[in-house]
Amino acid sequence: MKRITVILLILCIITAGFGTLLPAAFAASQTAIVNNPNPADRLHLRSAPSASAASLGKYYNGVQVTVLSYQNSVWSQVRIGSGDGSATGYMMTRYLKTGGSVASTIPTMYVKTSGGSLNLRASRSSASKAIASLRNGASVQLLCEASPWVQVRTSSGKIGFVMRSYLTADSGGMGGSSSGDNIQNGSIGWVNNGNGKRLHLRSGAGSGYSSLGLYYTGTPVTALAAPSNGWARVRIGNSGEGTQTGYMMLDFLTFRSTDASLRYTLPTYRPRAASAWDLKMSPSIIADPVPLSDFSDSNTLFLMGELSGGWWHMQNTYSGKTGFVNNISGYVKVK
């Protein structure tokens, strides 16, 4: 009996000794980061736990994954993203890091399409659901290299798929904010919603907050702080007169000086008579009027945005003064 006990003890020690040679098993739903020893390398996401399985993309250092299951000492099943736009497959365990940080090599790319906007897809197919629309010039983080479909992350944090041929490393001449890194309090920009839709001004930094109005491409904005998590806090209108303050998605703003001409794409109106000119300091009938000088029925206004209650947010094309009007029947559209 003693001999058997000794033998079992020795086997336990040997087994434990070999176990320390293997990497610790990942827990389900644990977060890990792609971490190649050579930052120039990228890590394959495989369709099966085998080096000969099809590659679903080669992912950059710094990409965050969720470990779904630990297959063995070589492979782990992982997911990049969640829900629509996510990718699931297998990565080599030794190139995933849990805890600490990794120097990111994820490049920033820019949408380049003649169609004005590009659909962010739920999967690697043009027939899959569109989960977002990216305007021409919008910046995205390229999570992997693949052909023809790549997985990207927008500046608002949404993950999905686009065709690689619609991305470029060159931001020149396309408009759009590159990353928000150089946008600070006082930076001047413009709404640039390339798909023709108007852009919400939100009461908070998120699409779940109430809308303060819908604003047209070309509306000038002033940044009130550096952007955070894909949202920019902005003021519409000149300080102290006829203004609105709120949050807009950074993906649909441009802060490039070359895009100042966007202002002239705004719908333009003129008052039917000088007496109809009645810009208010706020969207309220009892609000004070915006002080005006040198106005006549020949002056025009840009329509920047439409608010609830029939209010329009407008800008005098001559003086640049901004305010709100409610007597829409007193104006006629010029263009």
Do 226 and 271 reside in the same domain of the chain?
no
Among 97, 123, 147, residue at a domain's last position: 97
With CA atoms as reference, report the closest residue to 312 among 268, 252, 263, 264: 268
pLDDT, one tens digit per residue, over 297-330 is 457 889 999 999 899 999 888 778 899 998 777 7
Peptide bond into 148 cis (omega under 30): yes
Distance CA(62)–CA(65), nearest Å, equals 9
Among 97, 116, 137, residue at a domain's last position: 97
Distance CA(51)–CA(59), nearest Å, equals 15
Distance of CA 98 to the CA centre of its chain: 26
Residue 43 located in a structural domain: yes
Task: Grade residue 275 by pLDDT with cuts at 50, 70 and 90.
Answer: low
Do 86 and 137 reside in the same domain of the chain?
no
**HEC secondary structure over 105-137:** CCCEEEECCCCCEEEEECCCCCCCCEEEEEECC
Q: What is the pLDDT of residue 29?
A: 73
Do 195 and 226 reside in the same domain of the chain?
yes
Task: Grade residue 68 by pLDDT with cuts at 50, 70 and 90.
Answer: very high
Higher pLDDT, 242 or 256: 242
Residue 151 located in a structural domain: yes
Distance CA(11)–CA(207), nearest Å, equals 60
Q: How many residues does the chain have?
A: 335
3-state secondary structure of 229: coil
3-state secondary structure of 319: coil
- pLDDT > 90: percent of the chain: 44
Q: What is the pTM of this model?
A: 0.52
Residue 182 located in a structural domain: no
Do 30 and 84 reside in the same domain of the chain?
yes
Residue 3 located in a structural domain: no
Do 34 and 88 reside in the same domain of the chain?
yes
Residue 49 located in a structural domain: yes
Taking residues 250-277, what's their average pLDDT? Answer: 79
Distance CA(77)–CA(276), nearest Å, equals 67
Do 79 and 127 reside in the same domain of the chain?
no
Query: Residue 291's domain is classified under what CATH number?
Result: 2.30.30.40
Please give the residue range of the domain that contains residue 125.
108-168
Among 168, 196, 218, residue at a domain's last position: 168
Residue 175 located in a structural domain: no
Do 241 and 279 reside in the same domain of the chain?
no
Distance CA(65)–CA(68), nearest Å, equals 9
Task: Grade residue 21 by pLDDT with cuts at 50, 70 and 90.
Answer: very low
Residue 35 located in a structural domain: yes
The neighbour count for residue 182, using CB atoms within 10 Å, is 10
> Residue 293: pLDDT above 70?
no
Distance CA(123)–CA(210), nearest Å, equals 30
Residue 60 located in a structural domain: yes
Residues 164, 166, 172, 178: is their CA dihedral positive or negative? Answer: negative
Q: Which residues contact 312 (CB under 8 A, 6 or more apart)?
A: 303, 305, 306, 324, 325, 326, 328
Do residues 233 and 205 lie in contact, with contact meaning Cβ atoms separated by under 8 Å? yes
Q: How far is CA 54 from CA 58, 146, 243, in A?
A: 11, 11, 55
Q: What is the pLDDT of residue 52?
A: 94
Task: Grade residue 173 by pLDDT with cuts at 50, 70 and 90.
Answer: very low
Do 291 and 318 reside in the same domain of the chain?
yes
Which of 101-105, 195-199, 222-226, 245-249 is the least confident region?
195-199
Total domains in the chain come to 4
Do residues 312 and 325 lie in contact, with contact meaning Cβ atoms separated by under 8 Å? yes
